[in-house]
Structure 1
Amino acid sequence: MKSIQLERLSLDGDLRDRLAASASRLADSLYGPDEVFKPASYDWPGDNEGRTLLAQILTARATGTEPLHTAAILAKLPEGVNERGYFGSILPEGMTDEQQLSGNSWYLRALAELYAWKKEPAVLRLIEQVVTGLILPAKAHFDHYPTDPQERASEGEAAGKRGDKPVRNWYLSTDIGCAFIMLDGAAHAYELLGWPELKETIEAMIRKFLSIDLIGISAQTHATLSALRGMLRYYGMNGDAGLLAAAERIFELYVREGMTENGANRNWFNRPWWTEPCAVVDSFVAAVELWRRTAKPEYLETAHLIYFNGLSHGQRPNGGFGCDNCAGSKERDLYALENVYEAYWCCTMRGGEGLSRAAEYGYWMDGNRVTVPFYHNGTAALALDAGDVVIRQSTSYPYAGQAAFEVLSAPASCAATLRFYVPQHAVPGTAAIRMNGVRLDAVSENGFLEVQAELRPGMRLELRFELGLVRVPAAHAPGFPDAFTLRHGVLLLRSRRNEAEPELGPLTYSENGNYKDAGGAVVLSPVFIPIRLNDKETVLERKAILFA
């Protein structure tokens, strides 16, 4: 089962608006060739350049527009990399800089996505240079990667810092564990190269990563989740059941110990100081990949929670992304942190990939089997065995359980199996699929309704399920053990009254996730707001989301 190619989508609605805003922000001169390349003194070599290229490439594919700066940045690459083809200085033999590995991982991933898009052989040669010059020589160093908390700096800022003195031949970062971000880049490169020596290096990295007490070392959750993404990518190539089981355990640990009540993250295990959309994107991708590999619907449920309450809240009205407080750790409220309102040096770029993946994840193809795990307005060209079927989706999700699919064009004879996700938060027994108004017999399995249909132009399929007000015990609020949240379907609700714990009384559903009291006043509304309606004041506003 593979996700749809971004070029086969034409989005509409809020996701289109978010992608357009992200692409616009990435067109700023801050992400152009004159500013994106950092000096030799910058201690995150390749990070800014790699994240920028990756985001520009993916948002360009998702929006169908050429990125403003990408060609110029690529033209300047020979000036930015060292003689071995990667960013940063060439260290003495035996020395490793974990921030250099981390930054060049984003550069590798950008090159891999560029190759998938353009198929230019010269790009493949750039990938080979990074692997040969930086990754393969680091293989033996992972055996003695420092994992003792006493050997590491325990204080960090929103932009991590490299220590001046090496520990056992490693230059370490306050972003603890960031060396393993390279698992994602290395696995992405292995997909394209298939080199046995790269496979051995990846497996050495995985062995060491799985030996680390992530809680004990207070690992950065972004590094943890990026490594997890790499493990899942590698699992897709080797099919090792033990590796998948390990990936599930790591994600379970993250959800239990590293997630906030609105589906964002705590930047480090044990230190809930701020969220980081870089990690929120990683968690969203990891959740979807775990669903893809296991078919367990709870991973999709988590992915919906992350996208609509965590990732969306982290996007700023200018299209960039910034840090919020860790709601549930010490405060009942959710709000943006003004001093890191936009993390333009990392999260803004990572948000571009997160939104592009949200688009890509809307349809999954397996021969004549079409799986729809998310709902977004727009048009898609589905590549079935008989040929392309073009459909237009219109949905009121997440406010209502409704999505309609109109077939715009199809081959003369095109039978397909269609699977539509019914969230676990839907009212039981209310899900149904109709074709041209007639209810179809549907099979329910692993969170999906499945139907067989002969697709013809003009056909209209409609999925409906009911959503309601749900009380959910807080699972990510260690500071408030008896608290609960209120949700409309997947949408986390906040109090519209001044007091954190209003006397709600009887409530009536209004529209767009809002609930009114007996006097007609809106007392609950979603944390999620379409980006076109958002502004800085709204993002900074304290939103009470935990109730006693």
Structure 2
Amino acid sequence: MLQTEFLPHLRVRGELGKRLELTARQFTSREVYSAELITQDLVLHPDRRRTADDYSGDLSGRYLEAVALAAQLGFAPDWDLLRDVIDVLLPAQRADGSFGAADAALGGFDHGVVWGNAFLLTGLMELAELLDDPACPLGAHSAAVRAATARLAESLVLSVPRWLRWFTYSREREHKFALDFFAMLPPLTRWAEHTGDPRAVQAAQSLAAAVPPPDGPWHLHGYLTALRGKLGVAERFGADPAAAQEVLDAWNLVRQRYVLAHGGVRESMRQPMDLNTEGCGIADWIMLSIDLGRHFRDDELFDAAEIALHNALPHVQAPNGHFGCETLAADPGLLTEDYVPEAWWCCTFHGFRAMYHVAANAVRLERDAGGDRLRVDLPVPVATRIATSAGTATVEVTTDYPDREFELAVRSDPGLPWSVRASRFWSAGAAEVSRGSVRPGGSERIVGRALTWIDADGVPVHSLQLNNTDEHATWLGHGVCVFVGPVIQVLAAPHTGAGNVVAARTLHVAPDGQRIQHVAADGLAHLTGLVREFRAPWSTLRDHTWQPVAADDAVVRFRFAALDVTPFTPARPADHD
């Protein structure tokens, strides 16, 4: 485990905990990220150029956010590195409160500045809370960081009207990154809630009202960020009761048009499709699905998050913890040189952010006339503290889900009754099922089984373009997805020569003549005669040989020396913590 001086606010175990730790190891030390590499998007040193350093504050802001969130999980940063970053950041702020090239004209329509500054505002807000922790040795920087945060927020608030005017011109809306300025929406919503500044509230509301439907050629990371911000405005300041429904309607359109078989999204809405997915977009999809699920209390939204969590997100995480992209290619397993699926400057941090979001939103408190009750929305192994009407409860969820046979238990001190959202992917014995929840009471343990099923013709969450394998198979309708619980095991579709983003890390139909047979039942099918045991992508981390890359590598991504894309053999599920 990483060393820490903090008492963790949230502990995560199992495979999710392992993946969080792998990623935290990358950015909590200088081994990968030097201060010069992180802050290049703030100072733009001409001799240290790197990919996307014109996105002023993008990598540096995400770094600050990830370090602060990692501390809540008990992973302490390299304090000297963090101090060096702060010491470069503070004097780099420009006269108007923004960050960017020192010799550039202030204001204007620089997409890199508005996008990067938005993520930097998020990072500074998280950093300020970290610096206020009594265990933090950098507390002396707190006042200066809070002052810089306020100046940056003011700069973004003042920029909102001109960006909204810019967006009214149709020609400006026609390129992939036209939505970059909507990255301001989530941090300005949070800033407005924190400060109560009516100008910030108005800025957030005006941005939220301008979020378009998903009908342009836009970057999905940008679009889903805008939707997450719009939902936040609706929940905190919304005068329009229809706003949250508009976000849900947009979510459904994205699901129908741009979601792949593993539950993740393509990089953009451009047609013909971009030749890759992007870890950031997949992370946004998971977080938005969870937030909408909690808002509408809709199991289908949580189910979509589960599919992406257990399939799409692992697909873009490398064995060392970094997150990146996947390239679509006609040849099974081919991942092209220019989009190696390891690290992209933003994805490592945003992938970590999504996993943290899953853990932080796994358990919540429900309160009604009968008193307090714990509700487990996402069955992941976490330990956390929750404020109740009687004080603070320490809550621990233990489970090895999504193993085919799994157990789940909830313990709290003081003892509280609890319920678990009844996922469509599993069944539970000896427990009362009421209103979509398994309600075992105070201390009973659920013993469940992940259901084996096939998506044959279009269960809504999985009605996808299954042109992602060139393997021969028995075709059922337009395509076949075999799942055990939420974990995809087999993909098969007619040979089209089109991309196979999922197949490179997903089992193929067994080659020895075993078959999938279709038994119609409300759009589902049963699995017969296939492999007897399955192993999920979550349990396939293994050592690779890595090509050393210097911390100041100008490309800001890290390459496989040799990428193993051979489909793995079905085997017994790996043991989980």
Please confirm whether the aligned pair reaches a TM-score higher than 0.5, indicating the same fold.
yes
Deviation at 1:335, TM superposition (A): 6.8
Q: TM-score, normalised by structure 1?
A: 0.79
On the 8 A contact 1:285/1:357 being kept in 2, the answer is: yes
Report the equivalent of 2:550: none
For the structure 1 residues 505 and 342, does the alpha-carbon distance in structure 2 shift closer, same or farther, using more than 3 Å as the test?
closer
What residue number does 1:162 align with?
none
Per-residue deviation at 1:8? 3.1
CA distance in 2, matches of 1:497, 1:423: 23
How far apart in 1 are the matches of 2:333 and 2:202?
44
Task: Report the secondary structure of 2:345's partner residue.
Answer: coil
Deviation of the 1:432 alpha carbon = 3.8
Whole-angstrom distance in 1 between the partners of 2:390 and 2:217: 52
Q: Which residue of 1 aligns with 2:320?
A: 318
Pairs within 5 Å for 1:14-53: 14-26=15-27, 27-38=29-40, 39-40=43-44, 42-53=53-64
SS of the residue corresponding to residue 466 of structure 1 reads strand
Looking at structure 1, the residues matched to 410 and 107 of structure 2 have their Cα atoms a distance apart, in angstroms, of 60
Judging changes above 3 Å, is the alpha-carbon distance between structure 1 residues 263 and 21 closer, same or farther for their aligned structure 2 residues?
same
1:193 aligns with 2:205: no
- 1:541 deviates by 3.9
Aligned counterpart, 1:158? none
Q: Which residue of structure 1 aligns with residue 219 of structure 2?
A: 220
SS class of match (2:231): helix
* Mapped partners of 2:91, 2:352: distance in 1: 26
The answer as to 2:393 corresponding to 1:410 is no
How many residue pairs are counted as aligned between the two chains? 485
Residues 1:134 and 2:144 are matched in the alignment: no
Contact map agreement 1:419 1:450 (CA 8 A) in 2: yes
Greater share of residues in strand: 1
Q: 1:487 is paired with a residue of what secondary structure? A: strand
Inter-CA distance 81–362: structure 2 relative to 1 (3 Å threshold): same
1: CA distance, partners of 2:385 / 2:163: 47
Q: Which runs of structure 2 are paired with 1:425-504 in the superposition (5 Å)?
A: 425-427=425-427, 430-433=428-431, 442-445=432-435, 447-453=436-442, 460-473=443-456, 475-477=463-465, 479=467, 482-494=478-490, 503-504=513-514
- State how 1:211-360 maps to structure 2 within 5 Å: 214-215=214-215, 217-239=216-238, 240-269=240-269, 270=271, 271-326=273-328, 337-339=336-338, 340-360=340-360
* Structure 2 Cα separation of the partners of residues 401 and 386 of structure 1: 36
Displacement of 1:333 after TM fit? 5.5
Q: 1:506 to 1:483 in 2, by over 3 A?
A: closer
1:118 to partner: Cα distance: 4.2
Distance 1:28 1:336, change over 3 A: farther
Q: Which residue of 2 aligns with 1:79?
A: 91
In structure 2, do the counterparts of structure 1 residues 143 and 483 end up closer, same or farther at CA, with 3 Å as the change threshold?
Answer: same
Name which of structure 1's ranges 223-232 and 27-36 shifts more when overlaid on structure 2.
27-36
CA separation in 1, counterparts of 2:107 and 2:98? 17
Quote the offset at 1:198 in angstroms: 1.4
Question: Structure 2: which 5+ residue stretches go unaligned?
Answer: 1-5, 47-52, 133-141, 457-461, 469-476, 492-505, 518-526, 546-559, 571-577
Alignment root-mean-square deviation, CA: 3.4
Q: What do the CA deviations read for 1:2-51 (whole angstroms, capped 9, x no partner)?
A: xxx99332222212211111111112444232221114374211112111
- Bigger drift between 259-268 and 491-500 goes to 491-500
2: distance between equivalents of 1:431 and 1:248? 33
Greater Cα shift, 6-15 or 284-293: 6-15
Alignment of 1:329-408 (within 5 A): 337-339=336-338, 340-366=340-366, 368-400=372-404, 402-405=406-409, 407=411
Compute the displacement of 1:318 (Å). 1.2
State the 1:332 CA deviation: 9.4
Shift of 1:346: 1.2
Give, in whole Å, the separation in 1 of the partners of 2:332 and 2:538.
Answer: 14
Contact 1:48 1:345 in 2 (8 A): yes
Amino acid paired to 2:55: W
The one-letter code matched in structure 2 to 1:235 is A
Counterpart AA for 1:248: L
CA contact (8 A) 1:333 1:542 kept: no
The 1:372–1:334 alpha-carbon spacing in structure 2 relative to 1, beyond 3 Å, is farther
SS in structure 2 of the partner of residue 319 of structure 1: coil
